[in-house]
């Protein structure tokens, strides 16, 4: 019954859930009818390996002796004798997925298909199991040599195989085709999805909507109405609408923008939207334009345009941080609501990062199952709870941190599901300049595979080095066409070196097109920013900022480390309004901070008379905020320009003393000498080049591309004295980062028919990345740190840090009080283990009941005292909702 359920489910998913683009990908050189036969065949045959002695003699999940005796007696009635005496010495050598592959390849199925059966539990074999049946014969047939004992097993396997062939539409095994590796990866993902769906008894935990309930032992297969069982399951599961992208009329762009965003397109937006709409076979679109000029609207409209042209039916929008992801989610949600109303359908959305449950907009969306069948359920954006965990990316519309895309390149169990989810979407990558050398290796690998799937990609940046632009295009071309793409590539002259800005680059089939001219009067005049270097003590720096806003205004101070942000924040006078933003806040406090800062100095914010905002790099990315005057630590040129893009961002009235934008660059302590935190984060080489090329006045947007290219072009190194040592270290570090990244990466896509997925996820070095947190750390090269729940524990009882007793608060809210401990506390595996043991002791001492709570089970608690501080593992930690989590070594603290 399960084989038929899975066959019906995968056939439904192929015909009704996959996008037209995914259907074309799977079809390839086959006809649609041939592809559907193959899809149905793998759906039915995937568990044929359970028809073996090794599987049928396995102990039941809860070691139920009466159940096992009942099942053995039924097998005996079917001709399988002597099972009660069977002892298989090597049963574990033939897990049912691998056994299934051995059986069907032995019957003539191509290895490119057999490997899919062998890998349907998330990881294919390293190679085809050619000797599996010969080496472990009894695992398959109960006995190594006795033909009478073996015969029922062989007959059952052959009967299942032939039934699978016939019900799939095949006459003989020779009709089963070979496929390419990208096709196999997506088909494997579809099989895993169908298998999980056909193994789900209910849609939700409430068990109100049945999918494929278990079958009572006293019920025979013949008693089941297979068709109605399947129709009911799909009716309960398929509760979101199917997006049908519409053609965007290029001569009506004014109305198109007005309908979606209530304004007419700017010249750059109009020109780019028109050029994108004229593409014939769009693959990659790279939008380079100044900060605050509407790249997000260009991208969202491009999603509609590209989806219509390519047959995609969803979106992934990737951003650098949780803060930028939250800000973008609200914008994407409004756009999607417009599309849902336009089509009178429900569209499912997913916010993909580890703190998604704290996003108010996301939490307020209705669950799809709750609006199913309701008259007012259409024209809405909903959440489908079935798409959770590893299934999250299968939701058609997703907004998430960039990790979710980078993970396409990491060898990780069930990676096929991630590739399946991405292969049907338009992918938008925002702030693409923000990823370091290590992350870039995973980015290029993901783009490589997206090219193999012909997935359209939109890339956004205000400050993109030309080398990275070219590398992205090359990675896509290699994936789509293979290494021979160069022979037929059509390009404009000088395309690799262009510094035109704004710039639109479109990969249209095998042709690269670039738009460099944007006719029409811009709504924003060039901004002339005065740049001054400041080498001041912290106290003098804050005094400088306070003086600058003495007659009113908002000063932004962006620094490169959390400790520096906290140190500066403590020096701000109490009569000046202060906001601090960095990563060392409780998740819910950080969410509140994000909202407050947007409400105060966002595009439609109510600006305070005087305010200082101090933060780290999170302030430079995607947040639509506006400072009257700005201070920044020295950083690579592209990041300084990103930060400068938050200076005088909007056309608003400003204090008299701050009418002209002023940028103060800190942390330059002498010739080639920089503040230690900045040097640690960014390295000497890029800081030296930035320091050299940064002028006393920069004009935005005119200077953006020239300045970025000067810093990142190795040809300009000769202009800078004493750079050789820093350059050598930069190159060595870059090669080390590349080497580290490649250790756990999947290979490049093999486009040749017959290439298999054998060994695709095989590793020689450990299992880094098997859970979500580890995986995200692996693709960002982040040191692993511990996540804890902070509460206050005093003689009066246990409280949230805002003073509410835990007894008055739902455990779901307690679970939101999470924060990552600084890496310095757990800098090595043994320190991690020691800290975990200490935290487990504290948790069991004060909160033993948490282990039976669905929200708090497995959590580690760090109780703070009445002053919201604690000494832990040699460090003194203090928390405040204003400054976040501060830490000093215990010895240092005693001396203060």
Q: What is the pLDDT of residues 802-836, one digit of tens each?
A: 999 999 999 888 988 988 898 888 888 788 889 99
Q: Which helix (H) or strand (E) holds 2?
A: helix 2-12
Q: Kindly tell me if the per-residue pLDDT of 773 is higher than 60.
A: no
Where does the chain hold its CATH 3.40.50.300 domain(s)?
527-700
What CA dihedral angle connects 444, 449, 455 and 461, to 10 degrees? -10
Lowest mean pLDDT segment, chosen from 507-516, 713-722, 763-772, 877-886: 763-772
Q: What is the pLDDT of residues 427-459, one digit of tens each?
A: 999 988 777 788 889 999 999 999 999 999 999
Could you give the angle at which helices 637-644 and 704-712 cross, rounded to 10 degrees? 160
E strands in 695-799: 697-700, 787-794, 797-799
Nearby residues of 251 by Cβ (< 8 Å), 6 or more positions away: none
DSSP states along 409-430: GB--TTHHHHHHHHHTSEEEE-
SS (H, E, C) 470-509: HHHHHHHHHHHHCCCHHHHCECCCCCCCCCCCCEEEEEEC
- Whether the Cβ atoms of residue 332 and residue 317 lie closer than 8 Å to each other: yes
Q: Kindly tell me if the per-residue pLDDT of 782 is higher than 60.
A: no
- Whether the Cβ atoms of residue 410 and residue 442 lie closer than 8 Å to each other: yes
Q: What is the pLDDT of residues 497-517, one digit of tens each?
A: 998 899 999 999 999 999 998
pLDDT on residue 371: 52
Return d(Cα 91, Cα 54) in angstroms, integer.
5
Return d(Cα 458, Cα 417) in angstroms, integer.
22
Mean pLDDT of 862-885: 94
Long-range contacts of 793-802 (CB under 8 A, 24+ apart): 793/846, 793/863, 793/864, 793/865, 794/865, 794/866, 798/846, 798/847, 798/863, 801/586, 801/864, 801/868, 801/879, 801/881, 802/881
C-alpha closest to that of 132 among 164, 91, 166: 91
Could you give the angle at which helices 295-310 and 267-277 cross, rounded to 10 degrees? 10
Task: Label the pairing between strands 662-666 and 668-670.
Answer: unpaired
Return d(Cα 572, Cα 541) in angstroms, integer.
10
C-alpha closest to that of 448 among 682, 748, 875, 1: 748
Where does the chain hold its CATH 1.10.3210.30 domain(s)?
2-199
Q: Kindly tell me if the per-residue pLDDT of 659 is higher than 50.
A: yes
Mean pLDDT of 793-808: 93
Return d(Cα 563, Cα 568) in angstroms, integer.
9
Residue 794 CB: number of other CB atoms within 10 A?
A: 12
pLDDT on residue 592: 84
Q: What is the pLDDT of residues 153-201, one digit of tens each?
A: 999 999 999 999 999 999 999 999 999 999 999 999 999 999 999 999 9
Residue 695 CB: number of other CB atoms within 10 A?
A: 10
CATH topology of domain 2-199: Hypothetical protein af1432 (1.10.3210)
Q: What integer best gives the mean pLDDT of the chain? A: 91
* Confidence category of residue 416, pLDDT binned at 50, 70, 90: very high
pLDDT on residue 569: 96
Omega of the bond prior to 719 within 30 degrees of 0, cis? Answer: no
E strands in 357-424: 380-382, 397-401
- Whether the Cβ atoms of residue 99 and residue 132 lie closer than 8 Å to each other: yes
Long-range contacts of 467-473 (CB under 8 A, 24+ apart): 467/712, 467/713, 468/432, 468/433, 468/440, 468/712, 469/286, 469/288, 469/505, 470/496, 471/440, 471/444, 472/284, 472/286, 472/432, 472/443, 472/444, 472/447, 473/284, 473/286, 473/505, 473/507, 473/512
- CA–CA–CA angle 172, 173, 176 (5° rounding): 110
What is the DSSP secondary structure assignment for residue 264, as one 8-state letter?
A: P
- Whether the Cβ atoms of residue 371 and residue 397 lie closer than 8 Å to each other: no
Q: What is the pLDDT of residues 64-110, one digit of tens each?
A: 888 888 888 989 988 998 888 888 999 999 999 999 999 999 999 99
Could you give the angle at which helices 2-12 and 147-168 cross, rounded to 10 degrees? 30
Return d(Cα 688, Cα 668) in angstroms, integer.
10
Residue 392 CB: number of other CB atoms within 10 A?
A: 19
Entry pTM: 0.89
Q: Which residue has the tokens 């089939």?
A: 509
Between 33 and 743, name the one with better pLDDT: 33
Return d(Cα 708, Cα 690) in angstroms, integer.
9
pLDDT on residue 605: 86
Q: Kindly tell me if the per-residue pLDDT of 780 is higher than 90.
A: no
What is the DSSP secondary structure assignment for residue 744, as one 8-state letter?
A: T
CATH of 280-515, one of 1.10.287, 3.40.50, 1.10.10, 3.30.70: 3.40.50
Mean pLDDT of 780-798: 83
pLDDT on residue 204: 76
Give per-residue burial for 712-725: e unless 16+ CB within 10 Å, then b.
beeeebeebeebee
pLDDT on residue 769: 46
Lowest mean pLDDT segment, chosen from 107-116, 366-375, 446-455, 484-493: 366-375
- Whether the Cβ atoms of residue 825 and residue 872 lie closer than 8 Å to each other: yes
pLDDT on residue 892: 60
Long-range contacts of 215-221 (CB under 8 A, 24+ apart): 215/1, 217/70, 221/1
- CA–CA–CA angle 481, 487, 492 (5° rounding): 100
Nearby residues of 223 by Cβ (< 8 Å), 6 or more positions away: none
Return d(Cα 738, Cα 803) in angstroms, integer.
48
Q: What is the pLDDT of residues 537-550, one digit of tens each?
A: 999 999 999 999 99
- Whether the Cβ atoms of residue 191 and residue 40 lie closer than 8 Å to each other: no
Mean pLDDT of 382-395: 90
Q: What is the pLDDT of residues 724-753, one digit of tens each?
A: 999 999 999 888 888 888 888 999 999 999
- Whether the Cβ atoms of residue 767 and residue 416 lie closer than 8 Å to each other: no
Dmax of the chain from CA atoms?
98
CA of residue 896 relative to chain centroid, distance: 43
Nearby residues of 716 by Cβ (< 8 Å), 6 or more positions away: 689, 693, 710
Task: Label the pairing between strands 577-581 and 527-534.
Answer: unpaired
pLDDT on residue 521: 55
Three-state DSSP at 129 gives coil
Is the alpha carbon torsion for 702, 708, 711, 715 positive or negative? negative
Return d(Cα 634, Cα 542) in angstroms, integer.
17
Q: Kindly tell me if the per-residue pLDDT of 623 is higher than 80.
A: no
pLDDT on residue 776: 58
| Top-tier CATH class for 527-700 | alpha beta
Q: How far is CA 573 from CA 48, 161, 351, 541, 543, in A?
A: 73, 78, 38, 12, 9
Return d(Cα 87, Cα 69) in angstroms, integer.
16
* Confidence category of residue 777, pLDDT binned at 50, 70, 90: low
């Amino acid at each position: 019954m399960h084989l038929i359920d899975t066959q019906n489910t995968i056939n439904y998913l192929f015909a009704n859930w996959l996008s037209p683009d995914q259907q074309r990908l799977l079809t390839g050189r086959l006809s649609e009818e041939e592809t559907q036969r193959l899809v149905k065949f793998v759906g039915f045959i995937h568990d044929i390996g359970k028809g073996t002695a090794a599987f049928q003699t396995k102990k039941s999940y809860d070691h139920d002796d009466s159940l096992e005796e009942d099942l053995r007696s039924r097998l005996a009635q079917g001709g399988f004798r002597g099972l009660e005496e069977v002892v298989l010495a090597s049963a574990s050598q033939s897990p049912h997925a691998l056994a299934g592959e051995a059986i069907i390849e032995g019957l003539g199925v191509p290895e490119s298909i057999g490997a899919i059966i062998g890998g349907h539990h998330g990881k294919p074999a390293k190679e085809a199991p050619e000797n599996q049946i010969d080496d472990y014969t009894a695992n398959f047939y109960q006995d190594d040599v006795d033909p009478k004992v073996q015969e029922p097993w062989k007959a059952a396997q052959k009967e299942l195989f032939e039934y699978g062939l016939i019900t799939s539409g095949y006459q003989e095994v020779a009709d089963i085709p070979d496929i390419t590796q990208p096709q196999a990866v997506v088909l494997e993902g579809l099989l895993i999805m169908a298998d999980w769906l056909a193994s789900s008894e209910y849609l939700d935990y409430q068990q109100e909507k049945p999918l494929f309930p278990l079958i009572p032992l006293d019920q025979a297969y013949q008693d089941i109405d297979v068709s109605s069982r399947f129709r009911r399951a799909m009716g309960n599961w398929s509760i979101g609408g199917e997006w049908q992208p519409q053609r965007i009329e290029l001569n009506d762009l004014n109305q198109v923008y007005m309908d979606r965003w209530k304004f007419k397109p700017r010249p750059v937006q109009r020109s780019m939207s028109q050029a994108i709409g004229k593409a014939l076979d769009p693959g990659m679109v790279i939008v380079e334009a100044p900060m605050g000029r509407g790249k997000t609207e260009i991208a969202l409209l491009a999603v509609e345009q590209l989806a219509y042209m390519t047959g995609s039916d969803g979106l992934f929008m990737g951003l650098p941080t949780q803060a930028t992801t939250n800000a973008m989610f609200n914008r994407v949600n409004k756009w999607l609501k417009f599309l849902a109303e336009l089509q009178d359908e429900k569209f499912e959305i997913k916010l993909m990062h580890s703190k998604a449950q704290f996003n108010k907009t996301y939490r307020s969306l209705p669950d799809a199952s709750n609006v199913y069948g309701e008259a007012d359920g259409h024209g809405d954006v909903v959440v489908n709870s079935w798409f959770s965990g590893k299934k999250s990316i299968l939701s058609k519309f997703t907004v998430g941190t960039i990790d979710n895309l980078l993970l396409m390149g990491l060898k990780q169990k069930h990676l096929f599901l991630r590739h399946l989810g991405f292969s049907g979407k338009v992918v938008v990558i925002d702030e693409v300049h923000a990823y370091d050398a290590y992350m870039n290796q995973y980015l290029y690998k993901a783009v490589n595979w997206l090219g193999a799937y012909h997935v359209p990609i939109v890339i956004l940046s205000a400050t993109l080095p030309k080398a990275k632009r070219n590398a992205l295009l090359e990675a896509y071309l290699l994936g789509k066409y293979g290494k021979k793409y160069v022979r037929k590539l059509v390009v404009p002259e000088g395309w690799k070196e262009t510094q035109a800005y704004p710039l639109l680059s479109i990969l249209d089939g095998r042709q690269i097109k670039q738009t460099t001219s944007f006719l029409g009067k811009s709504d924003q005049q060039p901004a002339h920013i005065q740049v001054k270097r400041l080498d001041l003590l912290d106290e003098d720096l804050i005094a400088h900022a306070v003086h600058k806003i003495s007659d009113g205004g908002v000063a932004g101070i962006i620094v490169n480390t959390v400790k520096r942000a906290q140190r500066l924040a403590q020096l701000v006078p109490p009569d000046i309004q202060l906001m601090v933003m960095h990563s060392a806040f409780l998740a819910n406090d950080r969410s509140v901070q994000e909202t407050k800062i947007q409400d105060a100095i966002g595009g439609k914010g109510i600006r305070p008379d005087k305010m200082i905002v101090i933060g780290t790099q999170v302030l430079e990315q995607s947040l639509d905020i506006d400072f009257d005057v700005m201070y920044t630590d020295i950083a690579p040129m592209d990041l300084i320009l990103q930060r400068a893009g938050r200076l005088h961002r909007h056309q608003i009235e400003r204090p008299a003393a701050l009418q002209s934008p002023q940028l103060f660059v800190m942390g330059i302590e002498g010739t080639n000498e920089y503040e230690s935190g900045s040097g640690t984060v960014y390295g000497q080489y890029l800081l030296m080049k930035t320091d050299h090329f940064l002028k006393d006045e920069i004009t935005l947007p005119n200077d953006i591309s020239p300045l970025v290219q000067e810093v990142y072009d190795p040809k300009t190194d000769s202009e800078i004295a004493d750079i050789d040592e820093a350059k050598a270290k930069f190159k060595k570090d870059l090669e080390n980062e590349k080497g580290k990244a490649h250790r756990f990466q999947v290979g490049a896509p093999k486009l040749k028919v017959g290439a298999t997925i054998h060994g695709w996820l095989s590793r020689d070095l450990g299992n880094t990345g098997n859970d979500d947190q580890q995986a995200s750390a692996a693709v960002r090269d982040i040191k692993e740190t511990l996540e804890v729940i902070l509460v206050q524990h005093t003689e009066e009882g246990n409280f949230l840090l805002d003073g509410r007793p835990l007894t008055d608060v739902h455990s779901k809210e307690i679970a939101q009080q999470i924060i990552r401990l600084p890496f310095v506390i757990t800098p090595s595996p043994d320190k991690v283990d020691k800290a975990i043991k200490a935290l487990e002791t504290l948790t069991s001492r004060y909160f033993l009941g948490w282990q039976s709570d669905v929200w708090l089970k497995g959590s580690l608690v760090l109780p703070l005292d009445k002053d919201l501080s604690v000494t832990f593992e040699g460090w003194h930690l203090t928390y405040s909702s204003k400054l976040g989590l501060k830490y000093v070594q215990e010895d240092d603290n005693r001396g203060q």
